[in-house]
Amino acid sequence: MPIASAVQEALGSASLIRKMFEEGNQLKKQYGPDNVFDFSLGNPDIEPPPEFHRVFVKLAQEDAKGSHGYMPNGGYPEVRDALAAKAGKEHGVCLEGSHIIMSVGAAGGLNVVFKAILNPEDEVIVSSPYFMEYRGYIGNHQGRIVEVEALPDFNLDVSAIKERLSEKTAAVLINSPHNPTGRIYPAETIDALGSALKAHGDRCGRLPYLIADEPYREIAYNNIQVPPILSAYSESLVVTSYSKSLSLPGERIGYIAVSPGIQDKQEVLNALIYATRTLGFVNAPALMQRIVGELTFERVDIGIYARRRDCFKQVLDGAGIKYAEPEGAFYLFCQVPGGEDSAFVAHLKKHLILGVPGRGFGRPGWVRFAYCVDEHIIQGSAEAFKKAMETWKF
């Protein structure tokens, strides 16, 4: 047995998203990049804002002594202070720098949180459909994922979640704005979930954590405010990154914000710092920490995503494809006529359209298109979508 059995098993069902990514690159080589309508990967194509470039060049020119060395595992104190102010404002709580742990993106942050809190056989509830990588993140630390179907409009089904709470429930993991549906959970839902977790904890003696994975917080349309998490429930942690808000996914920079009212706070913070170290992250990349610390309130121009969303909706409307109305993030989650998502995705590929089958998110019968691609690609796909639909038999 050359590799770990669990990894061997996972490799068999390799990430559908990454698979499409590789296939997309192949097709682009073959047909030219403008002739492939690649909506498979959430790889933001909008460049970081001009302020990013300014700070990047400034820090490179300064290249201050010691600026690439180790710092405390939780990150530079001054950066944590700056981000505490930002996250505190977003979440309606008073945060200190010590409540922020810098992380290697949100994926790194989630692994750190699960390492810090999960005991073997502990359960983490997720709302399905969901970003399938969560399975791995939870399994890495001996947790068990419990899937609860979302409501038909993809809002959280708080009643159904309540029914699955037990003394094994370590956490509920939510993601809003949501990948793949674009749904933003309203404040009432978050509050209802917080109350349900509190009531459950008071009854059974174990307060589950609420973990909010929210790299898309800043990508919200029609002036919708993504409701706060940390003020809604004491035992909450927010995990986020600058992958989308500053378009820096390859640089792996994000943070964990811990509710100031969390029980055993110092122990939780110490555990997060220990997990950061022992999982081998050690610290978030030094340079990017300093850059985001200076760009606290910057973000990419989300008007670009809003226009693409509208454009893509027209394309889908024109082809007669139904979708969940996206309130945030940059995905359109569409119903597959007839329901055979894998076959539909294969059929689309013949028309050089790439999407990810819903089963890649635990929801067969749907398909996800990411619109972090240039608008002319979206417009250009209109004919291909129409032709694909004309020839789609179900």
Least gap, CB of 109 to a second copy (angstroms): 7
For a second copy, the binding residues in 203-242 under the rule CB under 8 A are 206
Backbone angles phi, psi at 42, to 5 degrees: -80, 60
Q: Are 381 and 315 in contact (CB under 8 A)?
A: yes
Of 51, 66, 70, the residue nearest 285 (C-alpha): 70
CA distances from 16 to 4, 126, 132, 312 (A): 21, 19, 9, 22
Least gap, CB of 184 to a second copy (angstroms): 24
Q: Which of 74, 105, 180, 326 binds a second copy (CB under 8 A)?
A: 105
Q: Residue 42 or residue 358: which is nearer to a second copy going by CB?
A: 42
Q: Residue 268 or residue 334: which is nearer to a second copy going by CB?
A: 268
For a second copy, the binding residues in 1-40 under the rule CB under 8 A are 1-8, 10-11, 14-15, 18, 22
Q: Residue 140 or residue 379: which is nearer to a second copy going by CB?
A: 140
CA distances from 70 to 41, 49, 59, 67, 75 (A): 33, 28, 17, 8, 9
Q: Residue 57 or residue 346: which is nearer to a second copy going by CB?
A: 57
Q: Residue 47 or residue 96: which is nearer to a second copy going by CB?
A: 47
Q: How many chain residues interact with a second copy (CB under 8 A)?
A: 81
Least gap, CB of 57 to a second copy (angstroms): 5
Least gap, CB of 126 to a second copy (angstroms): 16
For the chain, the maximum distance between any two Cα atoms, rounded to a whole number of angstroms, is: 65
Backbone angles phi, psi at 135, to 5 degrees: -55, -50
Q: Residue 286 or residue 352: which is nearer to a second copy going by CB?
A: 286
Q: Residue 53 or residue 322: which is nearer to a second copy going by CB?
A: 53
For a second copy, the binding residues in 37-76 under the rule CB under 8 A are 41, 43-45, 47-48, 53, 56-57, 59-61, 63, 65-73
For a second copy, the binding residues in 304-363 under the rule CB under 8 A are none
Least gap, CB of 240 to a second copy (angstroms): 13
Least gap, CB of 1 to a second copy (angstroms): 7
Q: Residue 89 or residue 206: which is nearer to a second copy going by CB?
A: 206
What is the rounded (10 degree) CA torsion for 301, 257, 93, 331?
A: 40
For a second copy, the binding residues in 143-172 under the rule CB under 8 A are none
For a second copy, the binding residues in 251-310 under the rule CB under 8 A are 251-252, 263-264, 267-268, 270-271, 274-275, 277-288
Binding mask 73-102 for a second copy (x = CB under 8 A): x-----------------------------
How many Cα atoms are found within 13 Å in the side-chain-facing hemisphere of 337?
14
Q: Which of 86, 91, 99, 141 binds a second copy (CB under 8 A)?
A: 141
Q: Residue 38 or residue 327: which is nearer to a second copy going by CB?
A: 38
Q: Which of 27, 79, 95, 116 binds a second copy (CB under 8 A)?
A: 116
Both tokens assigned to 24: 């997309």
Residue 110 binds a second copy, judged by CB under 8 A: yes
Q: Which stretch in 109-117, 147-155, 210-218, 344-352 sits in contact with a second copy by CB under 8 A? A: 109-117
CA distances from 5 to 1, 111, 118 (A): 8, 20, 21
